[in-house]
Amino acid sequence: MEDLKSLIDKEKLPRHIAIIMDGNGRWAKLRGKPRVFGHRNGVQAVREATEAAAEIGVEYVTLYAFSTENWGRPKAEVNALMTLLVGTLRKEVKTLNKNNIRLKAIGDLKQLPEKSYQSLMEGIEETKNNTRMTLVLALNYSAKWEIMRAVRQLAQEAKDGNINPTDISEKHFDDALSTKGIPHPELMIRTSGEKRISNFLLWQIAYAELCFLPIFWPEFRKEHLYQAILDFQNRERRFGKTGDQIAREGE
């Protein structure tokens, strides 16, 4: 494990890693347990991912914890997820402070159950001065929701005469998203073997490298993060140019 970590080039780290934590239900089912058992066992994986990223010097980690579409799951599962969120946040704030990690959240947070919303706000408030890394939880998040909201906001600003429609830039759009001020993720990881984005950060991952891991989220450990970063560092990010051009730029 330490070996993998030592292979990572600290000069070429992704500043922001986004993770789609998937496969809790299937992991539990394989063990003959209810889906909620999988969610509970996913908490350790969250700790491992967060700690590994902070230790190595990543600045931002965004975790997809609950999508707007997830409200469509059985009520008991939704309730269990919300309760788990409250309990985990309350317990983990101390650790976040000890590790100097700041908590943030993106998504339609006001629609969360009152208790979940409150513990989230408390966690954000109590960790707001931490500087080592920012942990962003995507909760009741949907990229299409976020994009629609930005479009409406910019349309309103144009209507009010505060901005000329032809002057609307990528920067204006970025600033109208809930990820305002956060660099776009360079690396996106999804566990469970599923190869899709499921309405996560559509605008922000325009040029992210995608890494699909064939493990379920409760199995995720620090070494998986190291592996994903190494994989990222071995890829050539071309941004539309040719491989030769990129090689020359690196000289």
Catalytic annotation, residues: 22, 70
Give the interface segment with Mg ion, choosing from 10-18, 22-30, 87-95, 114-122 (CB under 5 A). Answer: 22-30
| Min CB(169)–ligand IPE separation in Å | 30
CA distances 63 to 34, 50, 93, Å, are: 23, 9, 16
For 154, phi and psi rounded to 5 degrees? -70, -35
Among 9, 125, 194, 236, binds ligand IPE (CB under 6 A): 194
Among 17, 18, 25, 187, binds ligand IPE (CB under 6 A): 25
Task: Return d(Cα 137, Cα 132) in angstroms, integer.
Answer: 16
Among 8, 18, 22, 150, binds Mg ion (CB under 5 A): 22
Give the interface segment with ligand IPE, choosing from 62-70, 122-130, 172-180, 201-209 (CB under 6 A). Answer: 62-70
Strands (DSSP E) contained in the chain are 16-20, 60-67, 101-106, 133-141, 187-190, 209-212
On whether the CB atoms of residues 122 and 93 are closer than 8 A, the answer is yes
Nearest to 107 by CA among 62, 170, 157: 62
**Using rule CB under 6 A, residue 106 touches ligand IPE:** no
| Min CB(77)–Mg ion separation in Å | 11
What DSSP designation does 22 have?
Answer: -
**Using rule CB under 6 A, residue 107 touches ligand IPE:** no
* Residue closest to Mg ion, measured at CB: 22
**Using rule CB under 6 A, residue 196 touches ligand IPE:** yes
What DSSP designation does 117 have?
Answer: H
- Give me the 75-114 binding string for Mg ion, x by CB under 5 A, dash otherwise: ----------------------------------------
Nearest to 106 by CA among 223, 186, 199: 199
Exposed e or buried b for every residue in 129-166, given b needs 16+ CB within 10 A? ebeebbbbbbbbbbbebbeeebeeebeebeeeeebeee
- If the CB atoms of residues 8 and 27 are measured against ligand IPE, the closer one turns out to be 27
Cβ atoms within 10 A of the Cβ of 58, count? Answer: 23
Q: Which of Mg ion, ligand IPE, none interacts with 232 (beta carbon under 5 to 8 A by kind)?
A: none
Among 58, 81, 93, 229, binds ligand IPE (CB under 6 A): 81
**Using rule CB under 6 A, residue 64 touches ligand IPE:** yes
**Using rule CB under 6 A, residue 26 touches ligand IPE:** yes
DSSP string, 47-65: HHHHHHHHHHT-SEEEEEE
**Using rule CB under 5 A, residue 186 touches Mg ion:** no
Give 209's strand partners: 187
- If the CB atoms of residues 81 and 177 are measured against Mg ion, the closer one turns out to be 81
* Residue closest to ligand IPE, measured at CB: 25
Among 50, 62, 67, 142, binds ligand IPE (CB under 6 A): 67
